[in-house]
Amino acid sequence: MESVWKGTVELPQFESLQGDSITDVLIIGGGITGILCAYFLKQRGIDYLLVEGEEICHGVTGNTTAKITAQHGLVYAKMLGRAGLEKTKLYLEANQKAIQKYAELARDISCDFIEKTAYVYSVDNRRKLEKEAEAYRKLGLNDAIVECASLPFPVAGAVRMEKQAQFHPLKFLAEIAKGLKIYEHTFVTQLMPGRAVTGQGNIAYKRLIFACHYPIDNKHGCYFMKLYQHRSYVIALEHAEQVEGMYVDEKKKGMSFRNYGNLLLVGGGGHRTGKKGGNWQELRDFARVHYPDAVEKYHWAAQDCMPLDEAPYIGQYSPTMPGCYVATGFRKWGMTTAMVSAMVLSDLLQGIENPYEAVFSPNRNILTKQLLFNSTEAVWNMLTPTAPRCPHLGCALKWNRAEHSWDCPCHGSRFAIGGKLLDNPANGDKKME
């Protein structure tokens, strides 16, 4: 299983940490968020060090669909009702600035950056599209509801957002990462105030950025209650009809579409980690019907952290952890949100007030229906009397037949058959008995 991104680029390699080290800012996580944070800190002359437990971009970043867009599903009508007009405008503006920053950087990087129109379509609910179009009007956006002639099935329509983009994320990051102070194969096993423990040495730090997808500290911030993880699947098809833009279904279990070169990327089959879902089989069944002459060239899966509401968590990790920052809960829109995170956090680390800080604050109100669902799921699986169990917080692991892994339905940790850690927040391998 390899994504088209991993199969078509050679990433720079970095040494592992050897002995103790000291840094002003320690960044944990070598995906797109951590690398962009390191890039901006270097530009600003701030001393930093990035550590990655495996190789850079080996996880979620290497398994994205790589859409750079401020259109995050039918998010704006919901956000207007929850957060009001001012914060919703700031959310949109932050993501639009992220797209502009990618375009600026991509001018000097060969990464297949292309401007595209993004669409959220609905198969059967035009009323939802009309509500989102009304939200677009209030935000000063084009509010047109259009047909989707590129899709191989009938839809009720789609709302569009123009001047969005797509790219090859690893070609982009291969250049951005060059010359950065990065240590690979340096896994943080324990965190203490001002000190991170790894197998190769201790790192003394003044400030810390958690850019490791799912935060690994359980003592502060209640992220184990504020997040759950969701898996989704992608197949890359050759000899399939091209689409004109980037498409995503408004339904959680719907499909997404975009092109890369002569390939059509079809995403879907998703489910909460540890639960059952359609996975690649759903996509392959779809392709046999709608693209009978297509040939599958790549297939891969991604895992996303889902917050309690529409916005990710970017900012101070917790009031009880001064000097510590986090970027998580990207809700399947990690490309744009990673750039937002890097721009916001690099300001906060310099004591510069950022206009978007309040929109993404990890310390905002968490009393939502999703919190109740997450808590119920965790309690149920903690009380389930089966083995094996997740070393993170003790939930019963579930066997994932499609991917041959043990998955945690509470917080999303995943383990290979032999116990090797595949996805955090678990902070190490699982001993299989």
Tens-digit pLDDT string for the chain (433 aa) = 799 999 999 999 999 999 999 999 999 999 999 999 999 999 999 999 999 999 999 999 999 999 999 999 999 999 999 999 999 999 999 999 999 999 999 999 999 999 999 999 999 999 999 999 999 999 999 878 888 878 999 999 999 999 999 999 999 999 999 999 999 999 999 999 999 999 999 999 999 999 999 998 888 888 988 999 999 999 999 999 999 899 999 998 899 999 999 999 999 999 999 888 899 999 999 999 999 999 999 999 999 999 999 999 999 999 999 999 999 999 999 999 999 999 999 999 999 999 999 999 999 877 777 877 777 776 677 767 777 888 888 888 888 989 999 988 888 889 998 888 898 898 888 777 6
In the prediction, which pLDDT does 369 show? 76
Judge contact between 357 and 203, C-beta under 8 A: no
3-class SS of residue 328: strand
In the prediction, which pLDDT does 365 show? 78
In the prediction, which pLDDT does 22 show? 98
- Comparing CA positions, the residue from 22, 143, 75 lying closest to residue 330 is 75
The amino acid at residue 40 is F
In the prediction, which pLDDT does 93 show? 98
In the prediction, which pLDDT does 109 show? 97
**Angle 169-171-175 from CA coordinates, rounded to 5°:** 115
Query: What one-character DSSP code corresponds to residue 315?
Result: E
- How far apart are alpha carbons 356 and 87 in whole angstroms? 8
Domains of the chain in start order, with CATH, are 6-65+171-222+309-360 (3.50.50.60), 228-306 (3.30.70), 369-423 (2.102.10.10)
Question: Is the backbone peptide bond immediately before 215 cis, with ω within 30 degrees of 0?
Answer: no
Residue 283 burial (C-beta neighbours within 10 Å; 0-12, 13-18, 19+): buried
In the prediction, which pLDDT does 225 show? 87
Judge contact between 76 and 88, C-beta under 8 A: yes
In the prediction, which pLDDT does 216 show? 87
pTM (predicted TM-score):
0.94
In the prediction, which pLDDT does 293 show? 96
In the prediction, which pLDDT does 433 show? 63
